[in-house]
Structure 1
Amino acid sequence: MTKQSEIWTIGSILKWTEQYFNDKGVESSRLDAEVLLSRVLGKERIYLYVHFDQPLQQMELGRFREMIKQRVKRIPVAYILGEKEFMGMDFSVSPAVLIPRPDTEILVENVIERLKELGNVHIVDIGTGSGAIAVSILANCLNVSGVAVDISSEALAVAKSNAIRHGVDMRLEFVKSDVYDSLSAGQFDAIISNPPYIPEKDIAGLEPEVKCEPYGALAGGKDGLDFYRRLIQEGIKFLKPNGFMAFEVGIYQAEDVADIGRETGAFNHFEIIKDYGNIDRVVIMKKQE
């Protein structure tokens, strides 16, 4: 984008930015350009099409230019904007937390469906990050209280801000812990997690945007299953009888995760749920009485 006195309209700047992003290898170039410009203008994306010929002010161009610089460095749009939509709600995000993804909504929707059928219940979200899972569940289930756990103080600060933002902070406790280390046994009706599950050998091949996210929220050990072993084997004593565990899993991991649960002998019911791409994405296991 030149700094000359040329008049830039919404239409011309979008066209230029789309091409520039393409040249720099940025995927979803048009969408990213529209989302970023919408934020600069404080408008919905439809506004861009209705006002295609509207000239941009120098201050608006300056703000947009700074966003473009960040995006071509492959910084995710969510980090540039400082928020991401999840389950129809806006969540604050920062480089201290994993960016919530649509696949995780499959996990949350299935947990909500099960919890709504119960009385007052107490849950824990291990590795809460932005708090998207725990906050979404509590926002949709007034019968639920919970604990949001993370090893990162920075992540817990983001999660707490999101709990306050969505009015569930009075029902959600925040605990800094390495998985269960700081928790008391036998207190949860459900243990929920979207843990790190990418095998170490696959980390180097991730997209640059994904590599911007916290390494500890991505890497799941040699085979990607390290955290599932801890969550399941150590978690049995924290789960009440008839309680359940629900996990998001990576591609081809569902049966392996279910097998970890079967080997404990503590669970009598298993479900594997597919995502919208027909990939096994969620594993739920119910503890025996």
Structure 2
Amino acid sequence: MNLSEARRLAAERLRVFGVEFPEREAELLLVGAAGISRSFYAAHPSLPLQDDAARRLWGMTERRCTGEPLQYILGSWDFYGRSLEVVPGVLIPRSDTETLVEQALSFLPPAGRFLDWGTGSGCITLALLAERPDLSAVAVDADPPALSLAWRNLKKHGVLSRCFLWHSRSPEDIPASDGEFDLVVSNPPYIRSSEICGLPREVRKEPLSALDGGEDGLRWYMALFGWAPAKLRKGGRLLFEIGVGEQGEQLVQIAPRSLQFEGIFHDLSRKPRAVSWLRV
């Protein structure tokens, strides 16, 4: 069996189980199983697929058919042009969050310092530090395995020396000084508890703690509103990722008076994705 035939069979199997983009995912599984690049596959589709690679491909395909996220199966995923290690139990980095990175880069001054609350895989911190060698960071998460993963990703890309990793169950236990940061950025859990059961099955395979924002979806926003303003320098920003719908407008209404609303920013799909405030 050659590479092209294997891709076709994997895609047919994925299609039967309702995978939305079976051809694309079959190709990603194939190159992952065979240890080749997509460009190599495109140039050599008629090369034979080795037996051990075929066994890996069928095993990976069956895992995908059960609803396991593709990113967990592959073990890595690209975010802001860099490959990150991805493991089960840690939120998967998504391209939507790159909107947050773009805004953060435009906000941070030379030699700026920022805090990333709920860092997960470290994707936001990594992107900012890799793009701006002048920056330093504190990356915070409540989950030790997530911090371990963030440590590995930051180390892999050579930016670990500019980041302090901190285990924190709430913002209040972060050892930060008043006026320490130019930016506090966060992609917090923001899905309403009642909506979790209606999420796609593969999203429900991700950690509940990284998805569930409480009854109204605003639990962690409120916690950060109570903590972050004092930790920001005058002229610093608070920047959140938000869910679709009216969540941005809700946050504007409940933000503390010490913060001046700046704007709601949209992702490439023209959906509201981030919101920011200025510390006045």
Q: What's the TM-score, normalizing by structure 2?
A: 0.95
Q: Which amino acid aligns with 1:139?
A: A
Match of 2:236 in 1: 243
Alpha-carbon distance between aligned partners in 1 of 2:31 and 2:139, rounded to the nearest angstrom: 33
Match of 2:23 in 1: 30
Alpha-carbon distance between aligned partners in 1 of 2:141 and 2:177, rounded to the nearest angstrom: 17
Q: Which amino acid aligns with 2:279?
A: K
Secondary structure of residue in 2 paired with 1:277: coil
Q: Does 1:280 align with 2:280?
A: no
Contact kept, 8 Å, 1:128 with 1:150, in 2: the verdict is yes
Alpha-carbon distance between aligned partners in 2 of 1:189 and 1:233, rounded to the nearest angstrom: 17
* 1:1-289 equivalent positions in 2, closer than 5 A: 8-115=1-108, 118-183=109-174, 184-186=176-178, 187-252=180-245, 253-261=247-255, 264-288=256-280
Secondary structure of residue in 2 paired with 1:234: helix
Secondary structure of residue in 2 paired with 1:49: helix
Contact kept, 8 Å, 2:140 with 2:166, in 1: the verdict is yes
Secondary structure of residue in 2 paired with 1:283: strand
Q: Which amino acid aligns with 1:137?
A: L
Per the TM alignment, residue 42 of structure 1 is displaced from its structure 2 partner at its CA by: 2.1
Alpha-carbon distance between aligned partners in 2 of 1:140 and 1:13, rounded to the nearest angstrom: 38
Per the TM alignment, residue 88 of structure 1 is displaced from its structure 2 partner at its CA by: 0.1
Per the TM alignment, residue 155 of structure 1 is displaced from its structure 2 partner at its CA by: 0.3
Per the TM alignment, residue 48 of structure 1 is displaced from its structure 2 partner at its CA by: 2.6
Secondary structure of residue in 2 paired with 1:191: strand
Secondary structure of residue in 2 paired with 1:268: strand
Secondary structure of residue in 1 paired with 2:202: helix
Q: Which amino acid aligns with 1:257?
A: L
Secondary structure of residue in 2 paired with 1:107: helix
Per the TM alignment, residue 123 of structure 1 is displaced from its structure 2 partner at its CA by: 0.8
* CA displacement, residues 207-246 of structure 1 (integer Å, 9 cap, x when unaligned): 1110111100001111111111111122222222211101
Alpha-carbon distance between aligned partners in 1 of 2:17 and 2:261, rounded to the nearest angstrom: 49
Secondary structure of residue in 2 paired with 1:181: helix
5+ residue gaps in structure 2? none
Tell me which stretches of 4 or more aligned residues in structure 1 moved more than 3 Å.
none
Bigger Rg, structure 1 or 2: 1
The root-mean-square deviation of aligned C-alpha atoms, in Å, is 1.3
Per the TM alignment, residue 53 of structure 1 is displaced from its structure 2 partner at its CA by: 2.4
Q: Which amino acid aligns with 1:92?
A: E
Contact kept, 8 Å, 1:127 with 1:179, in 2: the verdict is no
Alpha-carbon distance between aligned partners in 2 of 1:79 and 1:274, rounded to the nearest angstrom: 27
Alpha-carbon distance between aligned partners in 1 of 2:211 and 2:92, rounded to the nearest angstrom: 11
5+ residue gaps in structure 1? 1-7
Bigger CA drift: 186-195 or 49-58? 49-58
Alpha-carbon distance between aligned partners in 2 of 1:131 and 1:212, rounded to the nearest angstrom: 19
Secondary structure of residue in 1 paired with 2:234: strand
Secondary structure of residue in 1 paired with 2:77: strand
